């Protein structure tokens, strides 16, 4: 008799359910962050951007990749993520009123450094010695 085997899909790629829940949480958090005032001095006057939300398979935890407009550097992003983690209980309460899910997920904010990494890569590609190697006209000769 064949056993029912769980696929390792959740270990590799998120399910449609996880993706839908992540987008629902992301949209609601963007709304909440745009209209709420925070007492934390690290969050005052900062426009926070939510790049991605990854939900756990049971939808009880959400890893939120965040960055701040006009801020750069790993230290600044980590301080903003730490401030958002301090406000996670407040944000979770607001989120519970906004979304229609069986459980409101625990929120874990992680600094999203992908924008800084992309800017670094663009700077590398613009350097003369790298641009010379990437020139397609040289390959044709």
- Per-residue pLDDT reduced to its tens digit, 21-52: 999 999 999 999 999 888 888 888 888 999 99
Taking alpha carbons only, the member of 85, 82, 80, 54 closest to residue 67 is 80
36 φ, ψ to 5°? -90, 150
Q: What is the pLDDT of residues 70-95, one digit of tens each?
A: 777 788 889 899 999 999 999 999 99
Query: Which residue has better confidence, 129 or 86?
Result: 86
In a domain, residue 62? The reply is: yes
Tell me if 9 is assigned to some domain.
Answer: no
Is residue 34 a part of any domain in this protein? yes
Q: Which CATH number fits the domain that encloses residue 53? A: 3.30.300.20
d(CA 97, CA 117): 35
Q: Is residue 140 part of a domain?
A: no
Q: What is the domain extent for residue 46? A: 15-112
What is the number of structural domains in the chain?
A: 1
Prediction pTM value: 0.75
> C-alpha angle 108/64/82, rounded to 5°?
50
Residue 95 sits at φ, ψ, to 5 deg, of: -65, -40
Count of beta carbons in the 10 Å neighbourhood of residue 92: 15
């Amino acid at each position: 008799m064949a056993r029912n085997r769980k696929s390792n899909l959740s270990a590799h790629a998120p399910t449609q359910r996880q993706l839908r829940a992540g987008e629902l949480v992301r949209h609601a958090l963007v709304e909440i962050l745009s209209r709420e005032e925070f007492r934390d001095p690290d969050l005052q006057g900062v426009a926070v951007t939510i790049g991605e939300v990854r939900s756990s398979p049971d939808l009880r935890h959400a890893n939120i990749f965040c960055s701040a407009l006009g801020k750069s550097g790993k230290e600044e992003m980590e301080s903003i993520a730490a401030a958002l983690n301090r406000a996670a209980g407040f944000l979770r309460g607001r989120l519970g009123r906004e979304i229609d899910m069986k459980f409101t997920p625990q929120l874990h904010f992680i600094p999203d450094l992908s924008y800084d990494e992309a800017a670094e890569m663009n700077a590398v590609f613009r350097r003369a010695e790298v641009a010379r190697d990437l020139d397609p006209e040289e390959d044709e000769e």
